Structure 1
């Protein structure tokens, strides 16, 4: 179905509650697993409709955060989503209490059973009011970010629009752009601090109500981690500081020499070549059009999927005022359609949307035959393998987008992939400290961020940007506010994506075949099992992975 043909209707919680509880009672009363499966399928039909309407409203709100109708609907879902989660939780507990683990594992796999156990442990009716407040605060953050209206060179820019100027080869231009970008966060410092402080305290209170010492254990459960723990991540952190931080430093030094910068500082980090960054040879329409050529040549699956995506309007990447920042891919499960949201800004970031988010979307498309919502797509650590690997698999077609600058783009992208690993680890380390110490003041949090920057990004020199020197950089990192403990998933996935790149250089077709295999299994397996299916080295086996 075309996105423009979707008819939105607010889902009545009372109606769903009545249908849901009736079917759950039937599950409780039945001793026939075939019959139980029938009731589960009926529940999934209801759940998919609810999720589709919620995601549609969220997409429309992201497209325009001032749209009155979808502001109202976003508020509705902020308030009622925890109640729908309560119904899901009743469903999970009904299955767990039935003593049918063997049958459920045979039907849906071990990962499904592990997921419903974690979801049952991470929710209680006693935290519904706290989840509502958490939702409202996250929406407040989204709205605050999208409210930026910055005058630059005769135009009114949002934060995303400033990206081309921040990467300008003219230092004066990028200094002005970075100062204005930073000024937005500095002017709103009190608001960002207040939102985050409330989020930290709300999440800590949730954890305490569920019987946990702090939010870290609950956060890991909400991320549905079944095969690694905080200790594994601590080990990864140590390895990153020993191996990847020095490697990233070498890359930054090389970059400084390449752009002839005697005093390489924050104003220079966005410039990668002395004669300017890789430039796109077409606008947004051209990029989408060339995407069709690229994916048609990549593989039959990719060609069919991309055509479907374009024909059904499952993209919104055009920048506009009041549009939410960033990019994402989500699923409209009733139609089994992925949807890609982004903000094209005329920089290399546009290609990252075309490849990264399309990687997510391809996985969703190829696992459409999986009807159980909990395993239709994998946990986020695995999801990011699909997206980050696609960025590398599309290297052979970069001439379509960059022409003579093709090699520039590939050099920039590969270096950025390696430089990301210390930064991604820093974000995760920061969150662990914050949630271990929920009573820290806003200034203490910023001091901790700055100290961690010195550890993971020792090259960074903020020059005269006092706000960033004082630890204010992290306000822009939406995951810290909205998706706690997600960011290390990007690091783990990047380590897998780099392996796929090495495999593709040896035997492209075989590497692509392995990639398609892990797309098709959806979320039937845990992260480490999916890594095995792909034939990759476990990224938590640090030394082997680094080699």
Structure 2
């Protein structure tokens, strides 16, 4: 039986791939029937899957160990060839959307493929290829800089992830020192973070204007495949968060302050929800994995088979260690039909959050892995985050396995954090729009914008005088801003959908789960708003949706004597 360690990595020969891809594309253009073109599409899909397989194996292995020089060199290689492969795809998509057999192809594959193709064509031209290569290198430089963090703390050298448990310490001085240690790392590299982002903004603006857009904001929406909604609808969503969530979030912070026995909450107090300490998993990472397997076996037949597959094939790398990149993700290795989960377990409740969140992604791609075309294995990102965030709530009923008698306290804290996240999530989005609409801003002006937005969305956050944070540097730790611009609000949109699934699961778990399972099986074959409707959820953009779910949460918290 093959495990991830046996998965073969072969560097794509980009020149050979160009020839093979172009030959297939020429045949596509010369084809005299829909049937001929459909067969050629299958061949092009195979080439795409081969490339994606190599790229994902490389990415996983390079992020597990940033000191592995072989895979770091391969990462540099993909930074160079990625835009060249994007050029091939753009040419293919141009042919797809202009073929005389488009109507028949749409009948077979659905209209979503053609909407994605149109976006891909708009977001690329050969003129911007060198700029895309520059962008990739800057993103890799940011990721490597964050992963390089070695912070001396209480006699040990720790990564940023390994500092996590200290940020939830019952001793306020330890929390403060741990949070400051993280901030101090970013402050000590502030010039590098400023330089990298300054170049990214300039390069992205040049890409956008070269492609005929007014600003990167417009291009960013196309890159993120925003289909069926626009920036005005997103602004309305942010307004709903400001009106209906910020007041509730501030009320939660006030309650939290009283619970942990402090008169004035500082930013280093925010991770602590209980005076007796936050709930923590009651065992080792191996124990968590074993209980996770039992949980998914009990949740449903489908999730049981899925998690057995993940564990059997070693498709999880979970524990924080030196040289490992920060954060967590799920990706998919096409030719092996394998999701892969990457995370940084550190002994806190976030380990369980990751186990359920990333497993939600993995279960979705596992469920849609046979959908037929690479473009539909994943949905667009705002839809993809529904699967992950909803899985966090569907697994609520099994939290006793991980937290024992602290399970109820975990559930409360998890719900509260789900609300508290929303203002921050939309602040990140508005920050990016402001930055890319005014690309000439200086680093200090960008920090001033962040500080202004914090005052709106996080009005009571108190950095206790830390100079780097007081001047607006907090956003630099948010990797999405550097690596995947305009992604972050997808979490907020999806959270509103996930909270609806949570509400429904409290009333009729089986009905909610049936819709969730069907949603996962659809993959990316429909747009975000179409998938939301299919799952019988209300659109986050619709007036009243955010207000309704916040009202329900407020009542639930009162009923359970949280307030």
TM bin (shorter chain): over 0.9
**Residue 376 (structure 1) aligns with:** 377
**Residue 333 (structure 2) aligns with:** 332
Contact 1:386 1:519 in 2 (8 A): yes
For the residue of structure 1 that corresponds to 2:319, the secondary structure is coil
Quick one: distance in 1 between partners of 2:306 and 2:294? 12
Q: Kindly indicate whether residue 470 of structure 2 is the aligned counterpart of residue 469 of structure 1.
A: yes
Contact 1:537 1:545 in 2 (8 A): no
TM-score (norm 2): 0.96
Quick one: distance in 2 between partners of 1:542 and 1:55? 39
**Residue 119 (structure 1) aligns with:** 120
Matches within 5 A, 1:185-196: 185-196=186-197
Q: Kindly indicate whether residue 337 of structure 2 is the aligned counterpart of residue 351 of structure 1.
A: no
**Residue 80 (structure 1) aligns with:** 81
Contact 1:111 1:525 in 2 (8 A): yes
Quick one: distance in 1 between partners of 2:183 and 2:489? 25
**Residue 487 (structure 2) aligns with:** 486
What is the CA deviation profile of residues 79-108 of structure 1, one whole-angstrom value per residue up to 9, with x for unaligned ones? 101001111111111112212221121111
* Residues paired across the two proteins, number: 547
Contact 1:538 1:545 in 2 (8 A): no
Contact 1:104 1:113 in 2 (8 A): no
Alpha-carbon offset, residue 371 of structure 1: 2.1
Matches within 5 A, 1:301-312: 301-312=302-313
What is the CA deviation profile of residues 188-239 of structure 1, one whole-angstrom value per residue up to 9, with x for unaligned ones? 0000000000000100000000000100111000001111100001111112
Alpha-carbon offset, residue 512 of structure 1: 0.5
Quick one: distance in 1 between partners of 2:317 and 2:173? 33
What is the CA deviation profile of residues 423-473 of structure 1, one whole-angstrom value per residue up to 9, with x for unaligned ones? 100000000000000010000000110110000001101112121010000
For the residue of structure 2 that corresponds to 1:135, the secondary structure is helix
**Residue 392 (structure 1) aligns with:** 393
What is the CA deviation profile of residues 136-183 of structure 1, one whole-angstrom value per residue up to 9, with x for unaligned ones? 000000000011101112221000000100111111111111121111
Quick one: distance in 2 between partners of 1:65 and 1:529? 39
Q: Kindly indicate whether residue 288 of structure 2 is the aligned counterpart of residue 287 of structure 1.
A: yes
Matches within 5 A, 1:90-239: 90-239=91-240
What is the CA deviation profile of residues 326-381 of structure 1, one whole-angstrom value per residue up to 9, with x for unaligned ones? 00000111122111111001111101110000000000011112121111110001
Quick one: distance in 2 between partners of 1:545 and 1:443? 34
TM-score (norm 1): 0.99
**Residue 445 (structure 2) aligns with:** 444
**Residue 552 (structure 2) aligns with:** none
Q: Kindly indicate whether residue 551 of structure 2 is the aligned counterpart of residue 546 of structure 1.
A: no
Quick one: distance in 1 between partners of 2:32 and 2:248? 59
Quick one: distance in 2 between partners of 1:321 and 1:189? 22
Quick one: distance in 2 between partners of 1:51 and 1:331? 9
Quick one: distance in 2 between partners of 1:448 and 1:34? 54
**Residue 519 (structure 2) aligns with:** 518
Quick one: distance in 1 between partners of 2:98 and 2:146? 44
Q: Kindly indicate whether residue 534 of structure 2 is the aligned counterpart of residue 533 of structure 1.
A: yes
Alpha-carbon offset, residue 46 of structure 1: 1.1
Contact 2:244 2:546 in 1 (8 A): no
Alpha-carbon offset, residue 71 of structure 1: 0.8
Quick one: distance in 2 between partners of 1:99 and 1:250? 59
Quick one: distance in 1 between partners of 2:449 and 2:303? 44
For the residue of structure 2 that corresponds to 1:340, the secondary structure is strand
Could you list the structure 1 runs, at least 4 aligned residues long, displaced by more than 6 angstroms after superposition: none
**Residue 274 (structure 1) aligns with:** 275
**Residue 504 (structure 1) aligns with:** 505
**Residue 6 (structure 2) aligns with:** 5
Quick one: distance in 1 between partners of 2:63 and 2:146? 11
Contact 2:205 2:216 in 1 (8 A): yes
Greater CA drift, 233-242 or 207-216: 233-242
Matches within 5 A, 1:251-266: 251-266=252-267
Quick one: distance in 2 between partners of 1:403 and 1:542? 40
For the residue of structure 2 that corresponds to 1:83, the secondary structure is helix
**Residue 367 (structure 1) aligns with:** 368
Contact 1:8 1:53 in 2 (8 A): yes
For the residue of structure 1 that corresponds to 2:336, the secondary structure is coil
Unaligned residue ranges in structure 1 (runs of 5+): none
Unaligned residue ranges in structure 2 (runs of 5+): 549-563
Contact 1:378 1:522 in 2 (8 A): yes
Contact 2:428 2:488 in 1 (8 A): yes
For the residue of structure 2 that corresponds to 1:31, the secondary structure is coil
For the residue of structure 1 that corresponds to 2:344, the secondary structure is coil
